[in-house]
Structures are given as C-alpha cells and as structure tokens.
C-alpha cells in the first residue's frame, strides 16, 4: 500500500460521539448520553466507539468516570474498544485518572501507547484490527481554542512514518476547519491547523474526527476528510439570527464507515428525544451574554 492510498480490503465502522459534558448545569447530560447509546445499539457491526473530547463539563475525574461507565458498558456488550481524547472542558489530570491513555479495550484494559515526555499531554495510539487510531491533545488550559505544540506534532510524524495495515484515523477535539460566516468558529477552533496539515499530508490518515462545535460539519485538510460530529449534550442551531448562538436539545452521533471505494462515509444519528429542538440557551455569540426578550 502506498502512503496516502485508501485501503479497500479492510472495513471498519466507528460510532463517533463528542461533547458528553457530564455534570452540565444546563441539561441532564447523563440522560442525553444514555439516550443516544440506546438508539445506537441497533446500529450493526460497530468496531469501535470514539469520544472526541469535553468528556466532563466540570473537568472532573468523577465526570470522566461516569462517561467511561456508560460508553464502556456499550463497548463491553459488543466486545469493542472505546477511545477518548481531551477537550477544552477537560483537565489532563482528571482525564488520566479516569481514562488512562484514553484507549480502552472492551474489558476496560488500557491498550494505548502514550506520547513520551514531561508535558503531560494525553496523546496516544492503539490499533483495532489493523486500523491505527491516534488521539491528539489540543487542550489549552483555561482557553476555548485548541493548539498542538511542536513536540506533539513531531510525535505524530514519527507514528505516521510507517503506514498501518488498514490506514489511520486521527481524533482530536478542536476542528482544523471553520464555517467562514460563523462569528466565533475561527477563534475557537484549532489555531495551528496548518501545522497539523503539514504533519498528516502524504500519510495514510483516512479521516480526522473532531467535536467541539456541537454540530455536524465536513471539510478537507490538504485533501484529508475532516468530520465534526454533533454534540451529545446539546446541538448548536445554525438557523439562529446573526450574532446569536442557540443551543437546543437533541443528542447526536455519527457512524463512520472506513474501507471501500467511497470511504470514508459519515452518517449522522439523532436520538429519539421528545424534547429535541427545545432551546437550552440563546447567547450573543461574541460577548457570550444571555439574550433575553427575543423569540426563540
């Protein structure tokens, strides 16, 4: 297989979740996660579950453990691994305490190989039936935007130097893309997307899976598909008036199919929630202040 060539003989199906935000003060995040996992249980042939950051809204180990319990139960019932990365709401210490490398087997065993170094960043890699899964740590403590430092990017280049049997999927919280008309996306996404593009160009990376935006979005990074999955805890409604950010109920997830001539394929799931679409908050997207007295 040549570097950058999509594998066609090995197929994988990933359930991609993000932004579970357990312990959120706004909604019952545990119930939202339970709802999407219940509906996802009817999706056949899932090989892996990925949770791309913002595990716990309060950054606590207890919140991370709660998500691990629910997602881990889903994985154990199917005999499949579950993989996590950090988001801006997470803390590295709590993440490590509850999730280790973030790469867990169906029985909860830690199967990830973490990046060596003293920075404490939670970057790791594991393999699922020939598919290499790499999680990156784009967390900038105390900030909403993401960044990947030179040491992590150098580690990524080293890992990608040798192609994997079924290619590679990359997981990080902050998308390296943004919608041009959004008032905030290009300030809260991955700040050094160009550096990531330099690291993955010409490699066997088949897809880059992200979260953070709480809505579905696709794009390309030097020709590599980037997918942003909807949030579990809330969904951002892009039909809000200008300068407004509106969050509504309705847990979402993505089924990612890898392998085959049309790979990758992304199929969005919506939980069957009788309150889906109900407004959770409406804020000024620039100031972050609540908007009152305006029709939802």
Domain over 12-284 is classified CATH 3.60.21.10: yes
Give the C-alpha separation, 296 to 294, whole Å: 6
Give the C-alpha separation, 185 to 200, whole Å: 22
pLDDT of residue 183: 84
Which residues 6+ apart lie within 8 Å of 276 measured at CB?
248, 249, 250, 270
pLDDT, tens digit, 9 for 90 and up, residues 161-180 = 999 999 999 999 999 999 99
Rounded to the nearest integer, the mean pLDDT of the chain is 94
Length of the chain: 296
pLDDT, tens digit, 9 for 90 and up, residues 130-143 = 999 999 999 999 99
Percent above pLDDT 90 for the chain: 86
pLDDT of residue 7: 42
pLDDT at 282 over 90: yes
pLDDT of residue 93: 96
pLDDT at 6 over 60: no
pLDDT, mean of residues 70-99: 98
pLDDT of residue 294: 65
pLDDT at 1 over 60: no
pLDDT at 159 over 70: yes
pLDDT, tens digit, 9 for 90 and up, residues 211-231 = 999 999 999 999 999 999 999
pLDDT, mean of residues 187-199: 97
Which residues 6+ apart lie within 8 Å of 172 measured at CB?
52, 53, 85, 135, 136, 137, 138, 146, 148, 190, 208, 209, 210
Residues facing residue 135 across a β-bridge: 124, 171
């Amino acid at each position: 297989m040549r570097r950058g060539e999509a594998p066609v003989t090995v197929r994988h199906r990933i359930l991609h979740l993000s932004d579970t935000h357990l312990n959120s003060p706004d909604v019952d995040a545990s119930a939202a996660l339970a709802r999407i996992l219940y509906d996802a249980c009817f999706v056949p042939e899932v090989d892996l579950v990925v949770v791309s950051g913002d595990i716990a809204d309060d950054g606590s180990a207890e919140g991370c453990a709660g998500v691990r319990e629910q997602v881990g139960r889903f994985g154990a019932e199917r005999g499949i691994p579950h993989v996590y990365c950090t988001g801006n709401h997470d803390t590295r210490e709590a993440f490590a305490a509850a999730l280790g490398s973030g790469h867990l087997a169906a029985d909860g065993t830690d199967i990830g190989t973490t990046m060596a170094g003293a920075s404490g960043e939670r970057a790791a890699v594991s393999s699922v039936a020939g598919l290499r899964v790499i999680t990156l740590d784009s967390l900038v403590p105390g900030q909403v935007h993401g960044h990947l430092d030179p040491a992590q990017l150098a580690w990524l280049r080293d890992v990608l130097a040798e192609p994997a049997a079924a290619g590679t999927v990359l997981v990080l919280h902050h998308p390296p893309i943004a919608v041009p008309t959004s008032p905030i996306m290009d300030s809260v996404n991955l700040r050094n997307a160009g550096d990531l593009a330099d690291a993955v160009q010409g490699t066997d990376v088949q897809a880059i899976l992200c979260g953070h935006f709480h809505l579905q979005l696709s794009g390309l990074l030097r020709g590599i598909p980037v997918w942003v999955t909807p949030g579990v805890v809330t969904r951002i409604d892009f039909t809000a008036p200008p300068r407004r950010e509106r969050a509504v109920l309705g847990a979402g997830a993505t089924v990612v199919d890898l392998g085959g001539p049309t790979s990758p394929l992304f199929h969005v799931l919506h939980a069957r929630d009788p309150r889906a679409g109900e407004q959770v908050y409406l804020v000024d997207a620039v100031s972050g202040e609540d908007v009152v007295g305006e029709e939802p």
